[in-house]
């Protein structure tokens, strides 16, 4: 009986040693195999095409990929001003997968005849062509001194106007082309599809967004309108051309 147990124990030890040896051979051989990269794929990007991100971060030359590590790629990509962070992994074959998270762009800021991007937390980013900015309204005539913060009441209100239009009617929001802050005066909105301005003022943005939604079919159909004035409480003023001028 004891001899049988001894043989069984010896067999178990032999099997364990054999399994361990095979495991070390397999894992050791994998550890010595260098990962080969010949392509980098960027996903979840909207502002710029993936090849533009690669070009601007010095990762567009595939002949240099053999010297890269995943950490190298992550570090380089995350230096781009448009990006909050990037998640990088190897696909197991030959490709580096990069999933990026871009900053949340709220609008395009026009200052001193230059366009810049402004985020939802009032951070200013440079605008690199060919960035796709067609979906963002332009904010113009912001009165800002060098020492002033961008997070001022007029810019905050402009953001609230954008949000109010987004919540009320996404089509109207997408038609919003410009918010002219007029250096702290009554704001003027410009929409694609309307040949005249909307005098919006600087208060009651939700109420006015709802009014615009109700008026929108008439505004886009009536070509005699010269302006819409929403600055007064409980009043909507539609400036119209005189009939004789409209007809002739």
For 162, the domain range is 105-247
Residues 68 and 112 in one domain: no
Domain finish residue from 102, 131, 155: 102
Per the structure, the count of domains in the chain is 2
Q: Exposed, middle or buried, 117 (CB in 10 Å: 0-12/13-18/19+)?
A: buried
Residues 225 and 111 in one domain: yes
Tens-of-pLDDT digits for all 248 residues of the chain?
Answer: 555 555 555 656 666 766 665 555 555 444 445 677 899 999 999 999 999 999 999 999 988 888 899 999 999 999 999 999 999 999 989 999 999 999 999 999 998 889 999 999 999 999 998 998 999 999 999 876 544 456 578 899 999 999 999 999 999 999 999 999 988 889 999 999 888 899 999 889 999 999 999 999 888 887 788 889 999 888 888 887 655 444 43
Residues 95 and 127 in one domain: no
Residues 125 and 215 in one domain: yes
Within a domain: residue 197? yes
Residues 151 and 200 in one domain: yes
Within a domain: residue 240? yes
Domain finish residue from 80, 102, 124: 102
Report d(CA 198, CA 187) in Å as an integer: 9
Within a domain: residue 33? no
Which pTM does this prediction carry?
0.76
Residues 6+ away with beta carbon under 8 Å from 80: 53, 56, 57
Report d(CA 195, CA 237) in Å as an integer: 16
Report d(CA 147, CA 16) in Å as an integer: 72
Within a domain: residue 114? yes
Residues 80 and 113 in one domain: no
Residues 53 and 146 in one domain: no
């Amino acid at each position: 009986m004891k001899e049988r147990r001894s043989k069984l124990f010896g067999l178990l030890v032999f099997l364990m040693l054999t399994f361990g040896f095979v495991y070390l051979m397999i894992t050791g051989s994998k550890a010595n195999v260098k990962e080969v990269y010949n392509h980098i794929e960027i996903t979840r990007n909207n502002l710029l095409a993936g090849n533009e991100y690669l070009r601007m971060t010095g990762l567009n030359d595939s002949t240099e990929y053999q010297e890269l590590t995943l950490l190298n790629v992550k570090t380089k990509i995350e230096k781009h001003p448009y990006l909050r962070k990037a998640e990088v992994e190897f696909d197991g074959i030959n490709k580096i997968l990069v999933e990026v998270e871009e900053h949340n762009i709220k609008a395009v800021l026009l200052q001193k005849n230059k366009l810049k991007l402004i985020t939802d937390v009032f951070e200013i980013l440079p605008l690199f062509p060919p960035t796709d900015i067609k979906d963002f309204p332009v904010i113009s005539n912001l009165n800002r001194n060098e020492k002033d913060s961008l997070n001022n009441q007029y810019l905050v209100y402009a953001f609230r106007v954008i949000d109010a239009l987004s919540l009320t009617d996404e089509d109207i929001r997408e038609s919003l082309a410009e918010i002219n802050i007029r250096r702290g005066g009554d704001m003027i909105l410009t929409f694609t599809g309307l040949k005249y301005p909307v005098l919006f003022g600087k208060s009651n943005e939700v109420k006015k967004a709802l009014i615009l939604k109700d008026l929108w079919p008439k505004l886009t159909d009536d070509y005699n309108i010269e302006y819409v004035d929403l600055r007064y409480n409980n009043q909507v003023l539609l400036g119209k051309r005189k009939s004789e001028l409209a007809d002739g």
